[in-house]
Structures are given as C-alpha cells and as structure tokens.
Copies of this chain bind each other. A is one copy, B any other.
Amino acid sequence: MENFQFSMPTKIIFGKNTQKKIGPETRKHTDKVLLHYGGGSIKKTGLYDEAVKSLKEHGIEITELSGVKPNPRLGLVKEGIEICRENGIDFILGIGGGSVLDSAKAIAVGVPYQGDVWDFYTEKAVVKEALPVGGVLTIPAAGSEASDGSVITNEQNNYKRAVVTGLIRPVFAIMNPEFTYSLPPYQTSCGASDIIAHVIERYFTRVKDVDLTDRLCESVIKTMVKYVPVVLEEPEDYEARAEIMWAGTVAHNGLLSTGRTGDWGSHMIEHEISAIYDIAHGAGLSIVVPAWMKYVYRSDIERFAQFASRVWNAETDFFNLEATALEGIEKLEQFYRRINLPTRLSDAKIGDEDFEAMAEKCLEFKKVGEYLELKKDDVINILNLAK
C-alpha cells in the first residue's frame, strides 16, 4: 500500500425531497449565486422551479447561465467567468450532471485568476484559489459532485483536458434519485459506463497489497452490474436509482484511490475520441476499456483473474488462469452490450482515419497510463483492438 492523504469534505445530502435544501445550503455560503445548468431537462422535471423558489425564499439573488452541453465547452466557461466578475458573484451553483458541475468548477477557478482559465487545463498554471461550488446532481456518471476534478473541452482546437485540485470539490451535493427517473435509457447506460470506468481505472494498479480497496472497488462495480439492468426495465425504481446514484459518488470521491495509483489511460484515450467525434463519454469508454484490457491483461493475469472471479463470479480455472482472466473481460463486454452500449468503434461509426492524430494529441501533455505506460504505438494498437 502506498502512502496517501484523503478527505471527503463535500456534504452529501441524499434522498427524497432533498431539493428543498438548495436554498438553505446555498445561503450558508452566499446571497448571490450563479445558477448554472444545461438545457430544458431540469425545467421539464420541475427541479428548476423548485431550485429557484428555494433560493428566492432564502433571499438569494440569482443570475443564470444555461446552455452547458455534454463535453462542456471553454467558451461558456469564459462567459460564466465574465458574468461573475461583472456582478460580484461569489458562489456557483450547478444543477445537472457532470458536465454542468465540471463547467461550474471551471468558472470557479477562472473568476479569481487574472490569466486565461485554460492555463489550468494545460498545466501552464496551478490553481491557487477558487470560488465555492455547490451541486445538485441529476445524472449519476462523472462523480463530479464530490470529486476534485473538472474536464473541459476547448472547442477551438478540440482539446479535452482535466484539472484536479481539492479547491474545486463542491461544498455540498444535493442528490435526489427521483430526478434521475427521466434520464433516457442510453444516457443512463452511458453514465453507468463512466462510473464503472472510474473504478476500473483505479482497480488495475501495480501497487501490491491493496486488498481492502480492491474489495471496495468490486462492491461498486457489482452494484452497477446488478442495478443498471433494473432501471433500464423500470426507470422509476427508486431503490435501484438510489444505489446507482450513490455508487457513482463513491466511485469517484477518492476513497477507491487510497493507497494505490490508478491508470487513467482509457480515460485519456477516450477523451481524444469524444473531443473529435462528440460521442458520449460513457459510450467511448465502453469501447476503449475492453480494448485496453485486451492489450494489457497478459502482464498481470492474476489481477484480471481476480476481477473475473470476484466481480463476475467466473469460476476460476486454476490450470489456465488466462482463460479466467479473459472471461472477466468478456463478461464486461457482454454487460456493456446488455445495457445497449457500443463496444467497438464501428458500432459508433468511427473509422480509423484519426488514430494517428488522436494518439499524438493524447500524448501531448503528460504520461498516459500507469498500469502500463502507453506510447503512441500502444495507443494506436488499443484503438485498433477497438475497431
């Protein structure tokens, strides 16, 4: 086990009717808020109206910035920064999924910074301060509601990059599983894929003796495998929606990283795909993760066999552990297909014409992969396995 630091200061407020806490919780931090969200969905579900009512009842002045899209754009972030500066706003409330929260976090680091906020995403600058961010989650997926990360796409050059700093962990996250009932099946599945990938990136580590966190990781994946098919059948199953929503937070709040170094290569490769093709992140991951696994498993048969046995209940073939290891990868692919996600680039109508460019961009800023460090050829090989 490696040395680590961990804390999870985000106040999670989870369950039915918790949207009534939006005003009271926000009021603890400010009386002037940027209300940041996507499009119509929070208006359709009534969450928007409830939020505005709760904020107003607590005397909070609201400035709105909507229009956040999946793979949130730098342009809107910059608009948000300007609005906050002009209006002296000192708190960002994001209502939506990971894209909204990531965009809110980007605005939060941008407001007090004199330079271009994109500097943080290209590692030209380090975040030293940030406005506080609150979140009201409607899509279990990115884990942004309690994570220290933000991923933004620069639409001018199709770069999709991340910032990680404890300063952007939301001060509160209000999570009512009922507001996920209206998620379309495909989006539900894409969110699930993102959650599972967050665990897989951590699970496959070269760090030895991390058994407790191995088991915690397995718990989260098993929960997803059990409940995602349930909600695809019955979108208003509260208990199943609740399990998925809480699993999404546990997957990415840092607990599953304690004492271990994750990989994150699949995420980095996927970012290049979704930056160019604008495919949903979760759909990109259900394509890349199995290909990545097929590329790396031979170097660590035991861990892949453990994954197969503990997560997928594969019977262990003690005389052919490789067969057991492969069964785990196959079961994961089957699961993705069962929840109607693509597992090949061809499923998403993506050809091989940009493999070179994606591999180059992927490697531009930093090391790709820890479990196996990937060079350009490795990335291309993985993309070829994903064809």
* A interface residue numbers (CB < 8 A to B): 1-18, 208-209, 211-212, 215-216, 218-220, 222-223, 226-227, 238-240, 242-243, 246-247, 250, 255, 258-259
- CA of A17 to CA of B2 in the docked complex: distance in angstroms? 12
A-B CB contact pairs (8 Å), 9 listed:
A1-B242, A4-B14, A6-B12, A209-B239, A212-B219, A212-B250, A216-B219, A219-B219, A242-B259
Chain B positions within 8 Å of A3 at CB level: 14-18
Chain B positions within 8 Å of A1 at CB level: 15, 238-239, 242-243, 246
User: With A215-B219, A219-B216, A219-B219 given, is the CB distance from A5 to B9 under 8 Å?
Assistant: no
Which of B9, B18, B239 contacts A7, CB < 8 Å? B9
User: With A8-B8, A239-B1 given, is the CB distance from A226 to B211 under 8 Å?
Assistant: yes
CB distance from A249 to the nearest CB of B (A): 9
Extra A-B contacts (14), CB below 8 Å, given A215-B218, A215-B223: A3-B17, A7-B10, A9-B9, A14-B258, A15-B259, A209-B239, A209-B242, A211-B223, A212-B219, A212-B243, A215-B222, A216-B250, A246-B258, A255-B255
- CA of A226 to CA of B212 in the docked complex: distance in angstroms? 10
Which of A18, A212, A215, A220 gathers the greatest number of chain B CB atoms within 10 Å? Answer: A212
User: With A219-B216, A258-B14 given, is the CB distance from A208 to B239 under 8 Å?
Assistant: yes
- CA of A208 to CA of B242 in the docked complex: distance in angstroms? 12
- CA of A239 to CA of B1 in the docked complex: distance in angstroms? 6
Chain B positions within 8 Å of A15 at CB level: 1-4, 259
Residue of chain B at shortest CB distance from A223: B212
A211 and B243 form a contact (CB under 8 A): yes
B9 and A4 form a contact (CB under 8 A): no
A8 and B7 form a contact (CB under 8 A): yes
Residue of chain B at shortest CB distance from A4: B14
- CA of A12 to CA of B9 in the docked complex: distance in angstroms? 11
Which of A6, A11, A255 gathers the greatest number of chain B CB atoms within 10 Å? Answer: A6
- CA of A226 to CA of B215 in the docked complex: distance in angstroms? 12
